[in-house]
A = this chain, B = another copy of it.
Amino acid sequence: MASSDQHQSPETTDLRLLIFHRSPKYGNTFLPKLKTLYRVLDPLDESDPSLLPLSGSVRIMLCIGATPVTSDTLDKYPNLECIVGTSAGFDHFDLAECRRRGIRVTTAGDSFSDNVADFAVGLLIDVLRRVSAADRFVRAGSWPIKGKFPLGSKVGGKRVGIVGLGSIGSRISKRLEAFGCSIAYTSKRMKPNVPFRFHSNIHDLAINSDVLILCCSLTKETHHIVGKEVLTALGKEGIVINVGRGALVDEKELVQFLKRGEIGGAGLDVYENEPYVPKDLFVLDNAVLSPHIAASTPESFEALEELFTYNIQAFFSNKPLQAQIEYD
């Protein structure tokens, strides 16, 4: 079906300017389709002479992944009104500056939530039941030689502390209840209509948990919330799962705790200095390591594309945006 979007006059198209903002590490998967709908400015495309003249007029930006948006970035687009984000997190935005300039900002909303929750549970089962370690053991040909593989620990009955009971955390809790885990959480504030025990700080949660799952946003307040004290509170058998952001954890401390056996294990999808992972972790059997893939499946990218396409259209039609960040 020929949509009116695809057959608008050049003048109209010119009015619908969009900045495609991304660091070079991200691909341009969405670009060809966007170009059929909008006059797209791509700062990475140096062959486009219209970038500079049009930068002053552009009102909306599509920000790919965790590409930083600083006050310097914003200075380049003085008429920006809206940033459509494609990441579940928002630590890459200078939100104070966006707020000051009256710029609305959206995120990936729930597009990734099921995937991240699935992956968090996968990491937890892997660490507890030693799935990846078992796979290494079999592939190394050790089974006929060594015989017994060291026992893992049962998932059911574990006390799981969820740090950030938002769209991801609540999905994790739903899954883990089906395994017979008991759930508690900490969050900015206590959630109404939630049957789980609330702890007002992560230290109390850690003391009362066998497992901590980090799935909150990275903000000034949550930077390094898991450090020496929380790891000590979690204890020798404790497990940390991080599907949030690397800097939620003091990574150096975590590595030391894992190496010395002062916590039981860790399942990590995110790191402080991606794509660099502390090499000390590579030889540890009590760690499961993945390269920031919890959110990523073809299904989640489809959901994401649907959401940001909606948001761009909504902006141009003066309709309400979805998954918009609320300024406190």
Is the CB of A255 closer than 8 A to any CB of chain B?
A: no
Stretch at the interface among A10-18, A46-54, A130-138, A256-264: A130-138
List A residues 106-138 near B (Cβ within 8 Å): 114-115, 118-119, 121-123, 125-126, 129-132, 134-135, 137-138
Whether A206 sits at the interface, judged by CB under 8 Å, is no
Residues 273-314 of A contacting B (Cβ, < 8 Å): 274-277, 279, 282, 288-291, 293, 296-300
Q: How far is the CA of A151 from the CA of B178 in the complex (A)?
A: 27
A134 — which chain B residues lie within 8 A by C-beta?
Answer: 289-291, 293
Q: Are A275 and B122 in contact (CB-based, < 8 A)?
A: no
Say which residue of B25, B114, B153 sits within 8 Å of A154 (CB atoms): B114
Q: How far is the CA of A141 from the CA of B130 in the complex (A)?
A: 21
Q: Is B298's CB under 8 angstroms from A151's CB?
A: yes
Bound: A279/B119 CA distance, A: 29
Copies in the complex: 2
The distance in angstroms between the C-alpha atoms of A165 and B298, with both chains bound, is 31
What are 23 pairs between A and B in contact, CB < 8 Å? A25-B147, A114-B155, A118-B125, A119-B129, A121-B121, A125-B125, A126-B131, A131-B131, A134-B291, A134-B293, A135-B290, A138-B282, A141-B279, A141-B282, A143-B274, A147-B275, A149-B291, A149-B293, A151-B296, A152-B293, A153-B298, A175-B175, A178-B178
A residues at B contact (CB < 8 Å): 25, 114-115, 118-119, 121-123, 125-126, 129-132, 134-135, 137-139, 141, 143-144, 147, 149, 151-157, 174-175, 177-180, 274-277, 279, 282, 288-291, 293, 296-300
